[in-house]
Amino acid sequence: MNFEEFAAGYGLIIERVEYGAWRRVKTVDHPNKRNGAYLHRGDVAWVQNHATMGEPDRWVADRNSCSRTDQAAIDRRCKEAARELQQARQRAANKAGWIMRQCSLDKHAYLDSKGFPDALGNVWHRDDKQPLLCIPMLVSGAIVGVHLISVDGEKKFLAGQRCMGAEYVIDNKGRDWFCEGYATGLSLREALSALKIRYRIHICFSAHNMSHLAAQCSGSIVVADNDVSGTGKRAAERSGRPWIMSPEVGEDANDWHQRLGAFRFSQEIRKAVAGL
């Protein structure tokens, strides 16, 4: 199997292979976002679809025909790449901490577009550039990265950062809820607050990570995106936890919230939870 076929098997859309550094690309399940990444070193490469994979998977050229010398060279490159990956994660964690220290609580156009015009978030005001909404990503309380959201909703992670196991938690000392996106978490918080239900909302940033984290938390509920691709539903099912999602294909819970309005959305959540 050549590299392009291997990458396509994970949903990556690669128009032209580039070598030597991590490259971000679109994916079949998220064709409007650069949600995939690959690192190609000639006879060994790694790919990752951030929506469906927690860690990169490795491809090796002509596995069955490698000589001992070739295999030794490949092993060296694998060790080098693993070391570089760890170093990149540390650089990303350091940068994420620095970015969060530049932020101030403020309103943001993205939050306005999601139905929260008065909400305050961590906003990074940059000279001569649009402000970014910054969502810290933590593992066991330590920052490992940051989710950067532009005023028009474009979302990015830091290059090389760790995503598997990372989350942002909105904690009201109640039952655990798991979802993908920040806006979904805010919609869920509004609905549960209206219902006077305590919550601990885990924002997981991808379907795969949501499934991974929810599976480790007994008694939790998953709020899945109703993706056209079915990614959110499959992730919810893999978690082994009870789950709910919008009945409309293409909607996440924030879309559901905005379509129905706050009261009707909260009642839909109440009925969905009662039926679990």
For the chain, the domains span 3-95, 104-274
Give the distance, in angstroms, between the CA of residue 98 and the centroid of all CA atoms in the same chain: 21
Quote the pTM value.
Answer: 0.82
- Residue 74: the pLDDT is 67
DSSP letter at 65 equals G
Res 264 pLDDT > 60: yes
| CA nearest to 206, candidates 52, 19, 27, 20 | 52
What is the average pLDDT score of the chain? 90
The per-residue pLDDT for range 58-80, each reduced to its tens digit, is 888 765 544 444 667 667 777 77
Q: Express each pLDDT in 140-187 by its tens digit.
A: 999 999 999 999 999 989 888 888 899 999 999 999 999 999 999 999
More confident residue, 69 or 22: 22
What share of the chain in percent tops pLDDT 90? 63
Whether the Cβ atoms of residue 95 and residue 158 lie closer than 8 Å to each other? yes
**pLDDT tens digits, one per residue of 249-260:** 999 999 999 999
DSSP 26-55: EESSSTTS--EEEEE-SSEEEEEETTT-SS
Give the per-residue pLDDT at 65.
Answer: 47
140 Rama class: left (phi>0) / alpha (psi -120 to 50) / beta: left
